[in-house]
């Protein structure tokens, strides 16, 4: 699930035409700040004929050299614009020597940015747990189709001869790349490396609309993604070095639900690993995670109660096919109350209160209206789990505030018992958050600050269990 932070989503538009100036060409690296958010970013300025091209990179948001639709430079004044779902962010700065300093305005909120002349592209922070190259296994870029959807990924296989058991990795919600890279923590790349060294073939692929994959993640549903997983199984079955009787699925967060749905619709799935799985419908999951995350963030109980009341109204509307726009007044009323709880520093950064609130309301309506959210709120995984009889490993984090083990573990276990499943195992990792980092409080706001490595025993628990079930 996504954090509560407001982040930028970039779209590509046409380039403005301006007069080129030599002093602005090249790499400019620095930081942008808005309230408590601080992001490293880079602007690259190039010259094409008589025009300047501006490109932006924001590593923690997985934005790399996106072309800015508006970019101008004249008399040491630089201006560029960054469209997003929260409203266009407008940057205005002044060049002095080898630095640029200025302000940005988005949805009525004001921030600052600073850039310095650089000589190379910005590099994203690497995980603490590095994977040595060259690796002692084979890596192949692959592609397969689910109907009209093209999915691209990586298949890693041992170098030895023979047919290998295989595992397909399924990401959590939102557009994710094949590595499930979250704030520089390449979760699936590390898991794939570990399991391939253990003798497995591992397939991981980019979500719809990410990397080389086509389609749109947020215009698709969990059920659509399960069909992508079935297409991945069919792809593996056609490979001469894959043991088609030993193909398993490993899903993280929403990926657990994708694995469960695929498992009941394919006789070719021999086992599943569910990491931070969900035992309640999406509406209840959202209520619980909001309550826990807001409380951990120090939000007042009264505001948490108002937030949950609104979320319940939204869940009810979506579950009963009521037009979500009918709740626009409720959503705006909450946004106004939320604004009043802001600190003086935050309010001072907001130039236009009405623009800011209206922008937030429209952004929320856009989220609630998309197919993924509508399906997610309604979907209850328990009936699916009650049909699963193949071996199941379930992993939970003690400090996971997104899918807390106390809520989900008992329900998932009960469902498997009802299914008559004789081979399932549950493990709760102490101090682990939703990403299985060693955490302090478990809030998503910690993710980027923690070490990019798993808690002790996490990888071994997966590897030992799957080796045992394929014997």
What's 403's DSSP letter?
A: S
CA 77 to chain centre: 36
- pTM attached to this predicted model: 0.80
CATH architecture for segment(s) 22-118: Beta Barrel (2.40)
Class of domain 137-280+380-469: alpha beta
Average pLDDT over residues 294-323: 91
* Pick from 74-83, 302-311, 405-414: least confident: 74-83
* Pick from 6-10, 169-173, 183-187, 341-345: least confident: 6-10
| Sequence spans of domains, the chain | 22-118, 137-280+380-469, 282-376
Burial degree of 376 (CB within 10 A; 0-12, 13-18, 19+): buried
Cα–Cα distance measured from residue 7 to residue 189, given in angstroms and rounded to the nearest whole number: 24
Closest CA to 25 of 53, 49, 1, 3: 53
Cα–Cα distance measured from residue 145 to residue 340, given in angstroms and rounded to the nearest whole number: 50
Is pLDDT at 328 greater than 80 in this prediction?
yes
pLDDT in tens, 120-133: 776 544 444 557 77
Q: According to the model, what pLDDT value does residue 116 have?
A: 94
Fold match between 22-118 and 137-280+380-469? no
**What percent of the chain is predicted at pLDDT more than 90?**
62
DSSP string, 153-220: EEEEEESSSS-EEEEEEE--SSS--TT-EETTEEHHHHHHHHHHHTT-EEEEEPPTTSTT--S-GGGS
Q: According to the model, what pLDDT value does residue 366 have?
A: 86
pLDDT in tens, 253-308: 999 999 999 999 999 999 999 999 999 999 999 999 999 998 988 888 988 999 89
* Pick from 128-132, 331-335, 351-355, 450-454: least confident: 128-132
């Amino acid at each position: 699930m996504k954090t509560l932070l407001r982040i930028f989503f970039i779209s590509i538009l046409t380039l403005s035409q301006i007069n080129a100036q030599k002093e602005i060409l090249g790499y400019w690296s620095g930081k942008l700040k808005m309230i408590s958010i601080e992001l490293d970013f880079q602007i690259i300025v190039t010259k094409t004929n008589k025009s300047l091209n501006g490109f932006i990179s924001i590593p923690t948001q997985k934005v790399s050299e996106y072309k800015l639709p508006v970019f101008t430079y004249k008399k040491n004044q630089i201006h560029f614009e960054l469209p997003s779902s929260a409203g266009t962010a407008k940057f205005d700065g002044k060049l002095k020597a080898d630095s640029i300093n200025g302000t940005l305005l988005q949805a009525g909120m004001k921030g600052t940015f600073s850039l310095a002349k650089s000589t190379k592209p910005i590099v994203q922070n690497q995980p603490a747990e590095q994977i040595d190259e060259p690796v002692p296994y084979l890596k192949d870029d692959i592609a397969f189709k689910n109907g009209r959807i093209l999915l691209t990924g990586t298949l890693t296989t041992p170098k030895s001869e023979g047919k290998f058991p295989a595992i397909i990795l399924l990401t959590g919600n939102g557009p994710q790349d094949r590595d499930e890279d979250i704030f520089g923590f390449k979760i699936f790349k590390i898991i794939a490396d570990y399991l391939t060294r253990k003798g497995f073939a591992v397939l991981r692929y980019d979500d719809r609309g990410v990397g080389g994959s086509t389609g749109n993640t947020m215009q698709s549903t969990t059920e659509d993604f399960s069909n992508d997983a079935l297409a991945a199984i069919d792809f593996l079955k056609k490979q001469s070095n894959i043991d088609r009787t030993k193909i398993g699925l490993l899903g993280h967060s929403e990926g657990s639900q994708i694995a469960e749905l695929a498992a009941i619709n394919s006789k070719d799935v021999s086992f599943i690993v569910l990491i931070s799985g969900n035992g309640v419908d999406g509406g209840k999951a959202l209520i619980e995670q909001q309550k826990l995350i807001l409380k951990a963030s120090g939000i007042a109980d009264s505001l948490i109660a108002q937030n949950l009341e609104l979320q319940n109204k939204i869940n009810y509307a979506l579950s009963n096919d009521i037009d979500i726009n009918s709740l626009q007044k409720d959503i705006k009323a909450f946004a106004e109350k939320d604004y009043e709880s802001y600190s003086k520093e935050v309010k001072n950064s907001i130039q236009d209160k009405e623009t800011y609130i209206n922008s937030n309301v429209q952004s929320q309506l856009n989220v609630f209206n998309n197919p993924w959210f509508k399906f997610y709120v309604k979907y209850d995984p328990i009936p699916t789990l009650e049909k699963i009889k193949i071996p199941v490993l379930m992993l939970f984090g003690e400090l996971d505030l997104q899918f807390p083990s106390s809520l989900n573990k008992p329900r998932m276990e009960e469902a498997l018992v009802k299914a008559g499943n004789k081979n399932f195992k549950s493990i709760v990792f102490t101090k682990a958050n939703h990403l299985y980092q060693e955490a302090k409080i478990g809030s998503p706001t910690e993710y980027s600050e923690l070490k990019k490595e798993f808690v002790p025993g996490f990888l071994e628990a997966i590897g030992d269990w799957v080796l045992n079930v394929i014997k």
